[in-house]
Structures are given as C-alpha cells and as structure tokens.
Amino acid sequence: MAGKGGVGKTVVAAALARLASNHGLRTLLVEIEGKGGLPALFGRPPLTYRETELSPATETRGPIVGRTLTPDDALLEYLDEHGMGRVSKRLVSSGAVDIVATAAPGIKDILILGKVKQLERSGTADLIIVDAPAAGHAITFLMAARGLSEAVRMGPIRAQALEVLDLLGDPDRCSVMLVTLPEETPVNELVETGFKLEDEVGIKLGPAVVNGVYPLLGGLGSDPVKAAEAAGTTLREGEAEALSEAAQFRRKRHDLQASQLERLGEQLPLPQLCLPFLFRADLGPEQIDELADALGKQIIEMGNWP
C-alpha cells in the first residue's frame, strides 16, 4: 500500500487484510519502522519484529498476523543467520547501519525489502500486505534495489538487490495499490506516484483505492421535514433550516469528490475502489469489517477475486 500521508493507507491495508481473512487466507501485515497504527485498528498493542497475532483464525476466517520491520533488526537477523551473532549487536549499537547508509544510500531500504522478499519466498503467509512509507519516500524505497544493483557490481548486496528487483517486477508476486482521497492535491500526488512506479520501478499497479468518499444522499435524506415526518417525529424551530444547509453541503461535497474521481480516471486509467467516509474519529475492528465488506463487493464486481 502506498499513498500520500494522511490519506488512510494504513486503514485500507487493515481492511484488505480483513477481506483476505474473510476468504480464508493467512495474511501478514507489515509495518515499516513501526510508525503506523495497524495494531490499534485490531484492538492490539504495538507490533514488534516478531510476528504478533492481530486476529485469530476461525472456522470461516484465516488468521491475520503482523510485524514491524526495521533495518537494524533485519541486519541483526541476517548476521545471526550467517554465524556472526557475536558481533551483530555491537555493530548495530555502534550505529554501523547509519554509517553504511551514508556511504551507500538505499542500504536501509534494501535490508527491509530483502526481508519482505525472504518472507514471500518462505510461504509464511498466503498474502503479505506492506504498509509502505508515504508517497515520496515510497518511490525511493522501492527504487533502492535498482540503484544498488547498478552501483554494486558483485557480492551479497548486489545479489540481494537483484532478487528484490525480480520480486518487484513479477506481477504474479507483487503489486502496489495506491491510496488517495477524492481531493485535488492527493489525486495529483497519486497520479505522479503511479507513473513513477510504473516507469522507474517497473512495478505492477493494482486498483486505485479512493478513501473517504461521501455517499450521495437519496430518498428522504435531502428533505429533513419529510424525513422527520416519516420517522414519526417533529423538528424544533430552526432545525429544518440547519439540516437543509447540512444536506446542501453534503451534496456539494459529493459533487466535488465526483469531479476528482473523474479526473483521476482520466489521468491514471486504473480501476477504482471507493471506500465510504466513516463519520467517527476513532476506528476499530467493527469499522475495519465495514470497509472490508465495501472492498469485497467492489472487487467481486470487477471479477478480480477468486
């Protein structure tokens, strides 16, 4: 998942994981550097480098597990697996990763991407969802493998970079779902990010997810007086006017969002998955289930879900 900061890509990642779980898949959610809010959306404490259960398996659902990946932890694990456990912690505590990162830009990203590649190869999950950094960093993050493969001519770093490139370039193993809001600036950034990922990284783009879409008021929703009568209640003085203004604002908001959705489709011809705006400040498992259902209905209509 990738997108401009604040568009809700972490929420979309959680909803997609729940959707996969509903279809019986074992799903792994990965936070980068532990900066997301994924576990809170499932009512769980912060993630660590080790797998943590976010949602247990049931008769009808597959399990959802999560973990956070950091360059230091990935390097520690790599060194331990290659018989250098005694020096690994000393190297990390001394800031060696930062020193190497200064000399070889992209090394931190390749440590994380290399671990994702390892997890994908191991078959530890049916689906791995990575909550990638915000759009600007996401591009450099995903381009790290290409940069290192061109800068380093031999050795384990080049081998790792080439293997990551194979993963990123294989549409059967990897794709990026871009997330945006139906607003001008986020849409502009999504379009720019989409073309850069396709042209410079060579990665397959999945459907664009548009978060926070206002459903159109229909029926009695646009007429508060008739709605009150149908509900068997009456409105106090001034309430009908206030509700009418709110409905008018809602219609204008919907029309503005619709124009941005149309513009997005013209500039970046990808299928669109729209998630409804949820009128609450905090989100939890119940809201993630609601968003997963909305995703699932649209994906089935597109014919892209088994």
Distance between CA 29 and CA 11 in Å, rounded? 12
pTM of this prediction?
A: 0.85
Segment 75-96 mean pLDDT: 66
In which band, very low, low, confident or very high, does the pLDDT at 306 lie, cut at 50, 70 and 90?
Answer: very low
Q: How many CA atoms lie within 13 A of 104 on its CB side?
A: 20
Average pLDDT, the chain: 84
Q: What fold, for 2-214+270-302?
A: Rossmann fold (3.40.50)
> What pLDDT was estimated at residue 276?
94
Cβ pair 274, 261 in contact under 8 A: yes
Distance between CA 5 and CA 280 in Å, rounded? 19
> What pLDDT was estimated at residue 259?
96
- Evaluate if residue 93 carries a pLDDT over 70: no
Give the number of other CB atoms < 10 A from CB of residue 75. 21
pLDDT tens digit sequence for 165-203? 899 889 999 999 999 999 999 999 999 999 988 888 888
Q: Is residue 303 packed enough to be buried (19+ CB in 10 Å), middle (13-18) or exposed (0-12)?
A: exposed
In which band, very low, low, confident or very high, does the pLDDT at 280 lie, cut at 50, 70 and 90?
Answer: confident
